[in-house]
Amino acid sequence: MKIAILGPANSIHVSRWCNALAQQDIEVHLVTQHDFDVHQYSDRVRVHLLPYRGGKGYFLNRRALGKVLAEMSPDLLNCHYASGYGTLMAGVWRGPSLLSVWGADVYEFPYESRFKMWLIKRNLRAAGRIASTSHVMAEQTRSLCPELAPIFVTPFGIDTARFVPVPRAADGRLVIGTVKTMAKKYGIDILIHGYALLRQRLQDEKADDLLGRLELLLVGGGGETAVLQALVAQLGLEASVTFAGQVDHTAVPDWLNRLDIYVAASRNDSESFGVAILEASSCALPVVVSRMGGLPEVVAENETGLIIPNENPQALADALYLLVQDSALRNRLGVAGRARVCQQFSWDHCVTLMRDAYRQTVAA
């Protein structure tokens, strides 16, 4: 099978899909208008760079895309992202097509203007079939176009050979943390407030030993960093909170293995799939996540992690209190999380789901 993937080459998710599919008996071509690092891609992936960049490229690259596809003659075109690249694809390719929605393209973009709502509906209808990383995002997509054929659910896979638990030195520390962009939608401020409430409760209970071991580690860059640092200072938490800054994705397993508890307190539905949560679970970490978007789909409640209400620092503090007090609970959730990722979210399993979606789309 020959597949053309149309999407942002600078995205870690696109490169992972391309590389994983290329390991199968699939000829993979990536067509993109984004600049990228060639080292992200396997030699088996053939990359075609379109001439125009930026928003105008989604309109000006139509002729170039048509020429590339005509010369390539793929069995199927898999377009990633319904707004930008979906606009580029619509009307150019008449063969079998699968449009993979990502999150903001169906949760945010359509509601910015009437034109954008019309555009996203047109792009969805122009595709042969639709794929979503989560069931909740599939429902959101269907709310935009109820007449769509059944939507495939094709989650992102996790490299369980890289994201593995590594025993940490027995230094007595108990580290809560997250690996995420420091942005408002990811609720890092909620995590900080929840951590402050946890420390206050332990202080009130005179649990000085546990209080002295407790740390918060925030890994990631982003525009909200200064605001979050000011919040930490305002709450008097500087001594126990560390901002690690932006790290390369190759280093993420090492940073995850510095944690004892992983938290994702996102406040935005557009986080349609919790890749970072699954990476933490793959490292056998217990996870605490907010009931938002696709996050609850990657956690078996009370089996691999705890799920809390959105925008609720007190609920987060209560969940963390349970976990910091009970090492056996942390271990049980972490071990079960690792097993669940290996069974349901390994790259082999997720590539099989995508291949099935490809076959059904071509056969339709």
Per the listing, tokens 């925008």 go with 311
d(CA 6, CA 142): 22
Kind of pairing between the strands at 76-80 and 2-6: parallel
d(CA 347, CA 37): 22
Length of the chain: 364
Range from 20-24, 161-165, 195-199, 332-336 carrying the lowest mean pLDDT = 20-24
Same domain, yes or no: 153 and 192: no
Residue 100 forms part of a structural domain: yes
Same domain, yes or no: 325 and 188: yes
β-pair partners for 288: 263, 306
Interval 234-277: pLDDT, tens: 999 999 999 999 999 899 999 999 999 999 999 977 677 899 99
Same domain, yes or no: 323 and 351: no
Same domain, yes or no: 12 and 150: yes
Interval 120-137: pLDDT, tens: 999 999 999 999 999 999
Q: Are 61 and 101 in contact (CB under 8 A)?
A: no
Give whole-number Cα distances, 35 to 8, 10, 45, 221, in Å. 8, 6, 15, 21
Same domain, yes or no: 340 and 350: no
Q: How much of the chain exceeds pLDDT 70, in percent? A: 99
- Give the pLDDT band (50/70/90) at residue 25: confident
Same domain, yes or no: 96 and 220: no
Residue-level pLDDT at 304: 98
Residue 169 forms part of a structural domain: no
Same domain, yes or no: 97 and 127: yes
CA 342 to chain centre: 17
- Give the pLDDT band (50/70/90) at residue 231: very high
Same domain, yes or no: 216 and 104: no
Same domain, yes or no: 58 and 153: yes
Same domain, yes or no: 49 and 190: no
Interval 61-99: pLDDT, tens: 999 999 999 999 999 999 999 999 999 999 899 999 999
Residue-level pLDDT at 330: 98
Residue 163 forms part of a structural domain: no
Provide the residue range defining the domain that includes 222. Answer: 174-344
Same domain, yes or no: 53 and 147: yes
Interval 139-188: pLDDT, tens: 999 999 999 999 999 999 999 999 999 988 888 899 999 999 999 999 99
Q: How much of the chain exceeds pLDDT 90, in percent? A: 93
**DSSP 8-state assignment for residue 156:** P
d(CA 112, CA 16): 30
Per the listing, tokens 């030699």 go with 43
Residue-level pLDDT at 271: 76
Average pLDDT over residues 309-325: 97
Residue-level pLDDT at 2: 97
Residue-level pLDDT at 214: 98
Q: Are 351 and 234 in contact (CB under 8 A)?
A: no
- Give the pLDDT band (50/70/90) at residue 352: very high
Same domain, yes or no: 337 and 354: no
Look at residue 222 and tell me whether its pLDDT is greater than 90: yes
> The CATH number of the domain where 318 resides is what?
3.40.50.2000
> How many domains does the chain divide into?
2
Residue 165 forms part of a structural domain: no
